[in-house]
Structure 1
């Protein structure tokens, strides 16, 4: 992980340049660029969620099997590295062939992130 540039809400970590950034709702640490969204049609624990190809400034939790709406998946929670707020999860493995496209991708829950520079 790179060093931050001292922006508000970012102590260490990666600062995402440019407009349309998603930040942790708790501490405003940058976590994703809008251009990394694959889909906005996902469901998280707390309502709507977005599927991203990449996120930054997060730590991965322990992998576990979860029975989600689309079947069994191995996932790991992702937490803001700065405040440890759980923001969503990473898909490690999908057991159904039709769900394999999610592997290695990230869910960010809409209720856990905020838009910056829109």
Structure 2
């Protein structure tokens, strides 16, 4: 399993051709208390950089972008019911959706942990 990051503060966990996507701990700390999450529908085809989900906090609403092209396989219903999971477990239980990667070459533009830490420093 590999974890990569976008400059928009999403994390992507890669297992074979399946990617699990969420927002980073840094992103949730900037957002503040998350009160609502809107996720894409399973079966939806996303293009890289397309707005895929919305996170609303007491401070702001932010889009979550698809870090890769592919089809949404599953969404995290638990997150819809309990959006505050983003604040308590951004890198774990608060994953947003899983997708089947349609173009693995798109992984090349993503950052590893060290590069992402440098990006947010």
The alignment's TM-score, normalised by the length of structure 2, stands at 0.28
Q: Which has the higher strand share?
A: 1
Q: Which has the higher helix share?
A: 2
The alignment's TM-score, normalised by the length of structure 1, stands at 0.28
Larger Rg: 1
Relative contact order (C-alpha < 8 Å, sep 6+): which is higher? 2
